[in-house]
Structure 1
């Protein structure tokens, strides 16, 4: 047809992992979104279980694993990770359906955006260190939070009307990205032609323009991690081996040659190996300590 090679991606909300893998058998699609990874809570145990289940199910059909933190139908990762309930619990056999069914009955409560952003920085290092492909939802590279105060008369998602004005829908994660400037619409349109959804008035520090000036910004972390992922022979395809015997809440795995990813889900600082060199970190590890809700890539 002259269009060149194409990749088919399944957006299938299917669980357990072995059922999802049926979509990516050799005679089916090439890859699929990993919604188990997206739904997983921010704990070391659940994250490890999701990773093991994903690698086993995709490996059984010879397909590449994928990793997803967010998409256009779900609450932004910064907001989810800033709440008391961060997602669904996963056991070694799959999602804990009883616990998951109860999530909807738990009030969302207040969101600690700073905590959510800190965890989101660690999460992307975990995601990009894993074997296979990774999907990034627009705005996650800027650390955008869910916009939860859109006026009712401006809501666009059909869910709002179809639910009889009881469910606000997905507009909060679909607010246009801030590109530049200090006032809305931040380079996404003009004051005379504003975008279809209003942007928060406090997003000036999250614009691409502002983050380009900050070497420690969310955007800078993404760029640094993606560059290292592209250059490091240990990353991309291949396997991993878990590091055992770590403190509760600390998750680490090795990839060859000479790479280690460490994520601290727990509340206590974790002392890093003295002979390891930090390649990319979500926080300051200059003192050789990985803080709570932080991640680091090491050269062993």
Structure 2
């Protein structure tokens, strides 16, 4: 087994990201089946903090032994292809979650490394957000009505752009605060009207629906506000939860679920990616990148690009404040 010298953010135990993650120089062990990737871009996702913390949605069966590299997704160039038959040295690739990408050079499972056009490198850095959006809208019939919660996130923008492309009617909700005005403007440009995430906002949305029922509610995290909005979901409708990462239960009134026979289901991207074939993931990625490019999504969401050493400067904005995406540019 050979080794490659590199530098990156690693953690030797699970715990708060601010105290466990350390910038280190280390030797990377390379197995014969590993693909070695020199990183170009690696985003900071909320799930990255959950992975370092070891909380429920951050756990993965295939986790590497400690110490582990932080991060989960990114784009880079193949420097060693190992036994891969899908990529070769020099290829620009998307490294699918959950691999550990906050390092100048990484090793990755060849089954989770996908070739992309080099011109799409920057777009593909956050491809997972758009793959999530695609799956969240999968199965909604044209002319269907969808409501999404958490309108200030990149995933929300991705959902809005894709819904517009598919001819769906999408309404978004967001909590009033510093990020509301920016989220409202972004989503409006993508064809989605935004409502305050409150009982008053639910009443305003009901009026805007003009008697139509909601077919699917996205990012249902429970609570009093959620209960007001779920009343607008029609018979046999769906509620999808994918953003409840705080470890608490989803509290919601059962009467609507029972009477309307609503379906509550969860979606977790790493499991979806793990359970799909390489060919399906590749075709999904290709379709997503084509959609991102066609929609003009690039530049619509605030990002802060930093060098590897400056990663901590964007932690709070990404993991606490939200409303922007931190991206390491190597």
More helix as a share of residues = 2
With normalisation by structure 1, the TM-score equals 0.24
More relative contact order, 1 or 2 (CA 8 Å, 6+ apart): 2
